[in-house]
Amino acid sequence: LLPPEESVAILERMTNGTLALHGDDDYPYAVPVSYVYIDGRIYFHCAMKGHKVDAIMQNDKVSFCVVERDDIKPAEFTTYFRSVIIFGKAHILTDEAGKRAVLKLLADKYSHGEPGWEAEIDK
């Protein structure tokens, strides 16, 4: 197990993770997402309608996995992972100001200061 501060550092540093949801017909549904980690919470953006939103509306329990490193050891027939797995409940932001604040954080993380994110959101 990693110490909590190392887990937080990984969550802050990495750029994608796998969100696991309860999918259709009781199948697990795991999907890669871009995210931002702020104040102990994971935020990601998705379409207003779609499989992720439908799954969250049906069952808000989720897990989220981020892999920082996978160290393959052929002679040992194994791989050593450095990863973080968290469990929680997903909530859909409905507050417009909150949504915009999170979208700005996502834009800052992934666009590296490129202008134009506000115009993209307003489309």
Q: What is the pTM of this model?
A: 0.88
User: 5: part of which helix (H) or strand (E)?
Assistant: helix 4-13
Which residues does residue 17 pair with via DSSP β-bridges, in sequence order?
A: 33
Q: What is the DSSP string of 51-83?
A: HHHHHHHH--EEEEEEEEEEEEEGGGTEEEEEE
In tens, the pLDDT along 64-117 reads 999 999 999 999 999 999 999 999 999 999 999 999 999 989 999 998 877 787
In tens, the pLDDT along 13-53 reads 999 999 999 999 999 999 999 999 999 999 999 888 899 99
